[in-house]
Amino acid sequence: MPRKITGPEIERLIQLLARLPGLGPRSARRATLQLVKKREQLLVPLTEALARVRDTVKICSCCGNVDTADPCAVCTDPTRDPSVIVVVEDVSDLWALERSGAVSARYHVLGGVLSPLDGVGPDDLSIAGLVDRAADPAVREVILAVNATVDGQTTAHYVTDRLRDLPVKVSRLAHGVPVGGELDYLDEGTLAAAIRARTPF
Amino acid sequence: MPRKITGPEIERLIQLLARLPGLGPRSARRATLQLVKKREQLLVPLTEALARVRDTVKICSCCGNVDTADPCAVCTDPTRDPSVIVVVEDVSDLWALERSGAVSARYHVLGGVLSPLDGVGPDDLSIAGLVDRAADPAVREVILAVNATVDGQTTAHYVTDRLRDLPVKVSRLAHGVPVGGELDYLDEGTLAAAIRARTPF
């Protein structure tokens, strides 16, 4: 049994921090020491920020975004095009698209992808809610912004199928060479897709 | 100006998490989303653990360790050899040595190393406290377990000098090949030290 070198409160904090993505046991220890050393600048404000998020955070009942208001800031933003819904797997994808500034539309977070191996079926995702929203006559287009993985594409096909009877256009993200990417490092599938979808110069 | 996609409480949490060592802005966002998704399993316990550490953590007035008691669990452990003080730069080094289980002694955390370039002088470190402790007749040896860096070794020399008039033995960690290390990847200084300090097989 290792000897006791610090209090159980500190051990507990290390254990919990180690469960955050990007932190392992070693970096959780370093983070804990940093917190203790920077008590006023870091530990106290972080505790307060976490408590505030704990007390105020909500999942938007319309789109699935994370916010302190329900409906969220995106759903209630009057400057966004209400005729386009961008479907994403996860809130992190919504945030990534917003950072790109590429689209000014509403979103719909599926909350995952279909994955029979992991036991994730259509009822585990927010697909019925999407169909309801897409049935609104104001909606003209649904952009499927799911990951270019096998599960993501399977999910895209399934969602497209569920939307078939509605008078909405269903589109998906283009495949191609990432901006700044080097051909030598790309896989054959991406290169083939980029050639097929080539555009006039 | 980027559009508002989430509440200020969540943005604030992302900013604070990004200041932890090992987390950048991107991983802080991922960590925040994980916290929000795992509200009961992660967000609530982590908030509580941080608040408890904030309310209970102390720096040991004797050795400088971080604990919820003062003197700390190491200083008050009656099973440790009171005649040896292991001098380390930082609490993380104390924890690392304890994990190794290599020594059962008391510690003394200097709180850094002498670094004229960074404006760190002897008075910024806990050196006077170490000299006081080493003057106790019960103390027979001081092990300087500082990092094998230029600043660490400078600090070791300075501390040795301050302890010169006391009847204590001052030792330092051995230099050599790390266990599991490959010679081809080691620097010349380490190899030369390992040859010099070779031991009979």
User: How far, in Å, CA of A74 to CA of A107, rounded?
Assistant: 8
C-alpha A146/C-alpha A123 separation (Å) is: 18
Please state the separation of Cα B64 from the chain's center in Å. 10
Question: CB under 8 Å to B60, separation ≥6 — which residues?
Answer: B66, B67, B70, B71, B72, B74, B75
Which chain B residues are within 8 Å of A75, Cβ to Cβ? none
Chain A interface disruption, residue of B13, B74, B94, most A CBs within 10 A: B13
Please indicate if any CB of chain B lies within 8 Å of the CB of A76: no
Q: Where do you find CATH 1.10.8 in chain A? A: 9-56
B53 touching chain A per CB within 8 A: yes
B35 contacts A20? CB cut-off 8 A: yes
Instruction: Report the distance separating Cα A20 and Cα B28, nearest Å.
Output: 9
Q: Does A56 touch chain B (CB under 8 A)?
A: yes
Positions of CATH 3.40.1360.10 in chain A: 77-172
Tokens coding B164: 């010169």
Residue B24 structure tokens: 């950048």
Cα→Cα distances B159→A142, B61, B166, Å: 70, 19, 12
Place of tokens 């008691």: B69
Per-residue tens of pLDDT for chain A, all 201 residues: 457 778 889 999 999 999 999 899 999 999 999 999 899 999 999 999 999 999 999 999 999 999 988 899 999 999 999 999 999 999 999 999 988 888 899 999 999 999 988 899 999 999 999 999 999 999 999 999 999 999 999 999 999 999 999 999 999 999 899 988 888 888 988 998 889 988 888
Per DSSP, helices labelled H in B57-186 are 91-100, 127-134, 150-162
Residues of chain B within CATH 3.40.1360.10 domain(s) are 66-172
d(CA B67, CA A10): 7
Calculate how close chain B gets to A145, using CA atoms only, in Å: 17
Helix (H, G, I), strand (E, B) or coil at A191: helix
The residue of chain B with its CA nearest to that of A27 is B22
Question: Do A190 and A176 touch, CB atoms closer than 8 A?
Answer: yes
Distance to chain A for B180, nearest Cα, Å? 20
Of B19, B47, B94, the CB nearest to A42: B19
B148 touches chain A (CB under 8 A): no
Contacts of B99 in chain A (CB under 8 A): 2
> What does the CA dihedral B190, B191, B195, B199 come to, rounded to 10 degrees?
70
A96 touches chain B (CB under 8 A): no
Across the interface, which of B3, B7, B92 has its CB nearest the CB of A56?
A: B7
Torsion of CA A10, A12, A17, A21, to 10 degrees: 160
Type of residue found at B24:
G
Three-state DSSP class for residue A186: coil
Q: Please give the span between the terminal C-alpha atoms of chain A, in angstroms, as a whole number.
A: 69
Show the tokens assigned to B34: 């994980």
Query: Between 2.30.40.10, 3.40.1360.10, 3.40.50.150, 3.90.1150.10, what CATH number should domain A77-172 receive?
Result: 3.40.1360.10
Cβ <8 Å between B99 and A2: yes
Q: Which CATH class is domain A9-56?
A: mainly alpha
- In the numeric block, which tokens belong to residue A86? 């961008």
CATH architecture of residue range(s) B66-172: 3-Layer(aba) Sandwich (3.40)
**What is the ipTM for the molecules in this complex?**
0.81
Residue B142 touches chain A, beta carbons under 8 Å: no
For chain B, residues classed under CATH 1.10.8 are 8-56
User: What's the average model confidence in pLDDT over B27-47?
Assistant: 93
The predicted-structure confidence for B65-112, as pLDDT tens digits, reads as follows 999 888 999 999 999 999 999 999 999 999 999 888 888 999 999 999
Output the CA–CA distances (angstroms, integers) from residue A150 to A21, A156, A164, A171, in the order listed: 23, 10, 21, 17
Buried b (16+ CB within 10 A) or exposed e, A59-81: bbebbbbbbbeebbbbbeeeebe
Which residues on chain A are in Cβ contact (under 8 Å) with B19?
A: 42
Interface contact B21-A10, CB threshold 8 A: no
- pLDDT tens sequence across B101-149: 888 999 999 999 999 888 999 999 999 999 999 999 999 999 999 999 9
The count of C-alpha atoms lying within 13 angstroms of the C-alpha of A187, restricted to the half-sphere facing its C-beta, is 4
Q: Is domain B8-56 given the CATH code 1.10.8 in the classification?
A: yes
Beta bridge partners of A109: A88
